[in-house]
């Protein structure tokens, strides 16, 4: 069709500044999609791991056995498993040192869990800032290319004795491609940022809730251990 738009032809005949703007926007779009797919895979894996570990944790398994199982993963543990490992490891360490102050033992364990939990969240939220920046500035970058292209188009009219729509239209069309490309880069980035931020917030809440639940479990275990020594001593005396 004669009225169809040939985007490639418009880009080829665009001015050098507009081409530069288009190159920047294409890079933004490509990098955004790479991050979008990687972030989806990362969040999906984190959600699956959290579901699996919580099911294992609340199945009634012995905490010491679960700790050994997680520790034997040779550094591969992440998410809730890493939070559990750090909290239980610190709990055992404090008890082995002869810590009798329950509050001090629990504070040390909770502090270890918070540190690891924060690190896990930081891993999950990496590169989200890039998506936010692309979504915020891409439209403005595209608008800059459009304005520049229109300026050049109108400057070219100065050398013509008679200006018509047919004369102005090609230059303006070339300039508007930059705005379209800015939207192409911005819209997926904004959608992905909002979507992944919501999922990350839910995972962060799960991590925080699990830390509180594990603290309660460890506190009850300390109370049980405090009541157990007399019984063990009596057993040994027999």
Specify whether the CB–CB gap between 131 and 32 falls below 8 A: yes
Q: What is the DSSP letter of 142?
A: H
Sketch the domain layout of the chain as residue ranges: 7-237
Specify whether the CB–CB gap between 141 and 21 falls below 8 A: yes
**pLDDT tens across 55-101, in order?**
888 887 788 888 888 888 755 667 889 999 999 999 888 888 775 67
Residues shown for the chain: 238
Q: Positive or negative, the Cα torsion across 66, 72, 78, 83?
A: positive
Q: Distance of alpha carbon 150 from its chain centroid, rounded?
A: 38
The arithmetic mean of pLDDT across residues 211-224, rounded, is 86
Q: What is the CA radius of gyration of the chain?
A: 30
Work out the number of other CB atoms within 10 angstroms of the CB of residue 74: 6
**What percentage of the chain carries pLDDT values higher than 90?**
37
**pLDDT tens across 149-198, in order?**
777 777 766 665 565 555 566 667 777 888 888 999 999 999 999 999 99
Specify whether the CB–CB gap between 191 and 170 falls below 8 A: no
């Amino acid at each position: 069709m004669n009225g169809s738009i040939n985007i490639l032809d418009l880009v080829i005949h665009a001015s050098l500044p507009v081409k530069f703007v288009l190159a920047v926007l294409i890079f933004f779009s490509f990098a955004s999609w790479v991050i979008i797919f990687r972030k989806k895979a990362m969040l999906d894996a984190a959600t699956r791991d959290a579901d699996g570990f919580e099911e294992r944790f609340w199945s009634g398994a012995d905490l010491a056995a679960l700790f050994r199982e997680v520790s034997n993963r040779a550094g591969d543990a992440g998410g809730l498993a890493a939070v559990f490992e750090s909290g239980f490891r610190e709990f055992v360490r404090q008890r082995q040192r002869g810590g009798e102050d329950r509050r001090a033992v629990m504070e040390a364990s909770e502090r270890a869990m918070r540190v690891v939990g924060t690190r896990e969240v930081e891993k999950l939220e990496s590169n989200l800032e890039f998506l936010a920046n692309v979504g915020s500035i891409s439209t403005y970058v595209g608008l800059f290319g459009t304005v520049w292209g229109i300026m050049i188009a109108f400057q070219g009219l100065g050398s013509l004795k008679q200006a018509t729509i047919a004369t102005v239209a090609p230059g303006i069309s070339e300039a508007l491609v930059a705005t379209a490309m800015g939207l192409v880069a911005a819209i997926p980035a904004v959608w992905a940022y909002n979507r992944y931020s919501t999922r990350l917030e839910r995972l962060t809440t799960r991590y925080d809730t699990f830390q509180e639940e594990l603290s309660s479990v460890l506190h009850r275990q300390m109370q049980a251990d405090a009541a157990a020594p007399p019984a063990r001593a009596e057993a040994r005396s027999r």
